């Protein structure tokens, strides 16, 4: 009989009621692809939490193995770039949404979706960074390209105690920015200061309906929240500033006006990590290797086993997770 391995499978019945179960699969059950990987580490992102909890329509193929990130070792390949034994990372590309994802001990994907594990980085380290950290790096690069350098003034990071926020605070502070961290969890202030935040402000300061323009407070920002929070961040961004938007934890709407854009020349920089071209991904992972203090990963992350994924998925949606969750498979 074919060798089996553990996997989490999300299914839906004829009445569209969702269920989640741990099951056994074989490689014959995997979807199409030219590279098969032994998954050594994965992570629990906010999107993974939405997929498992069913609180947003993340999954678009049924049944599906969720999990948008993994790091591991190639066990077989017909792709020209990869051979057995290569260490690889996958982020996005619809994996965990329309293609079987990371919450299994094996994954079969397209080789074009993979990037090499950076030298000196373990699969565990890579997943302590994960899509959240890779997205944070994309935000930083976008701000830099827009001319938002440390001398321009402070930068704000919303949802700062979450995965994207935690890594963004760490990277920005290491690059010399004055980082203002916004969080709804005041108890996390010491954690954020340890990561490098110069100031911590309460989420409530940015949670109410925004004025078209408010007092200028920062030159730029990284926003993972959306809705009223992003509207307030934009209204408080100084002339010629920019905000990189990459998330919707607070909602998909953006109740703002054109005032920040036409009266202060503020730019809203959209960040997509899922379908980013390979060259962009390689640059982001290269920069992570130089600009993120890997010694901070221990404080940025907690580690669980495969059996803890489902509970962690619900916790992250409920706002009970700080930083990053690494799953050692």
Please, are residues 134 and 285 in contact by the beta-carbon 8 Å criterion?
A: yes
Quick: pLDDT tens for 308-319: 999 999 999 999
Amino acid 296: pLDDT: 83
State mean pLDDT over 269-279. 96
Please, are residues 60 and 97 in contact by the beta-carbon 8 Å criterion?
A: yes
Kindly tell me if the per-residue pLDDT of 72 is higher than 90: yes
Mean pLDDT (the chain, rounded): 96
Can you tell me the distance from the alpha carbon of 275 to that of 293, in angstroms, rounded to the nearest whole number? 26
* Residue ranges of domains in the chain: 4-117+296-328, 132-270
Beta strands in the chain (DSSP E): 4-12, 18-26, 35-43, 69-77, 87-91, 106-109, 114-116, 155-157, 179-183, 199-202, 218-223, 237-245, 267-270, 301-305, 324-328
Provide the 8-state DSSP code for 203.
T
Which alpha helices (H) appear in the chain, and where do they start and end?
A: 46-53, 123-145, 163-174, 189-195, 204-207, 227-235, 259-263, 278-291, 297-300, 309-317
Kindly tell me if the per-residue pLDDT of 15 is higher than 80: yes
Amino acid 295: pLDDT: 82
Can you tell me the distance from the alpha carbon of 170 to that of 179, in angstroms, rounded to the nearest whole number? 9
Quick: pLDDT tens for 228-269: 999 999 999 999 999 999 999 999 999 999 999 999 999 999
When pLDDT is cut at 50, 70 and 90, the band that residue 1 belongs to is low
Quick: pLDDT tens for 184-220: 988 999 999 999 999 999 999 999 999 999 999 999 9
Can you tell me the distance from the alpha carbon of 264 to that of 256, in angstroms, rounded to the nearest whole number? 14
Kindly tell me if the per-residue pLDDT of 154 is higher than 80: yes
DSSP lists the bridge partners of residue 104 as 7
- In order of 103, 234, 289, 309, the CA distances from 328 in angstroms are 11, 39, 21, 10
Fold agreement (4-117+296-328, 132-270): no
**3-state SS, residue 251:** coil
State mean pLDDT over 158-171. 95
Can you tell me the distance from the alpha carbon of 45 to that of 51, in angstroms, rounded to the nearest whole number? 10
Amino acid 294: pLDDT: 80
Per CATH, the architecture of 4-117+296-328 is what?
Answer: Alpha-Beta Complex (3.90)
When pLDDT is cut at 50, 70 and 90, the band that residue 133 belongs to is very high
Residue range 132-270 forms a domain whose CATH class is alpha beta
Provide the 8-state DSSP code for 277.
-
For residue 309, what are its two tokens? 């994924």
Other Cβ atoms less than 10 A from the Cβ of 146: the count is 18
For residue 169, what are its two tokens? 């605070």
Can you tell me the distance from the alpha carbon of 11 to that of 212, in angstroms, rounded to the nearest whole number? 44
């Amino acid at each position: 009989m074919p060798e089996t391995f553990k996997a989490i499978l999300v299914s839906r019945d004829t009445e569209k009621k969702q269920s989640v179960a741990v099951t056994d699969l074989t490689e014959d059950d995997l979807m199409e692809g030219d590279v098969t990987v032994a998954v050594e580490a994965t992570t629990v992102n906010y999107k993974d939490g939405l997929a498992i909890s069913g609180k947003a329509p993340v999954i678009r193929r049924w049944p599906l193995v969720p999990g948008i990130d993994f790091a591991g070792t190639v066990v077989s390949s017909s792709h020209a770039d990869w051979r057995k034994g290569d260490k690889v990372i996958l982020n996005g590309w619809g994996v965990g949404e329309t293609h079987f994802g990371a919450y299994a001990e094996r994954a079969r994907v397209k080789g074009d979706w993979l990037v090499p594990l950076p030298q000196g980085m373990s699969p565990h380290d890579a997943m302590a960074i994960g899509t959240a950290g890779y997205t944070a790096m994309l935000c930083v690069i976008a701000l830099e390209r827009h001319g938002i350098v440390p001398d321009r003034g402070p930068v704000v990071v919303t949802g700062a105690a979450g995965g994207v926020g935690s890594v963004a605070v760490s990277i920005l502070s290491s690059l010399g920015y004055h980082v203002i961290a916004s969080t709804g969890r005041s108890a996390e202030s010491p954690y954020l200061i340890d990561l490098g935040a110069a100031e911590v402000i309460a989420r409530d300061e940015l949670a109410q309906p925004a004025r078209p323009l408010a007092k200028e407070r920062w030159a730029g920002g990284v926003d993972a929240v959306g809705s009223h929070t992003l509207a307030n961040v934009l209204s408080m961004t100084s002339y010629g500033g920019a905000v990189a938007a990459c998330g919707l934890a607070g909602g998909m709407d953006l109740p703002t006006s054109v005032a920040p854009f036409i009266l202060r020349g503020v730019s809203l920089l959209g960040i997509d990590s899922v379908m980013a071209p390979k060259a962009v991904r390689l640059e982001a992972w290269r920069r992570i290797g130089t600009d993120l203090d890997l010694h901070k990963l221990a404080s940025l992350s907690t580690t669980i086993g495969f059996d803890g994924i489902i509970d962690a998925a619900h916790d992250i949606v409920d706002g009970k997770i700080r930083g990053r969750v690494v799953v050692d498979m």
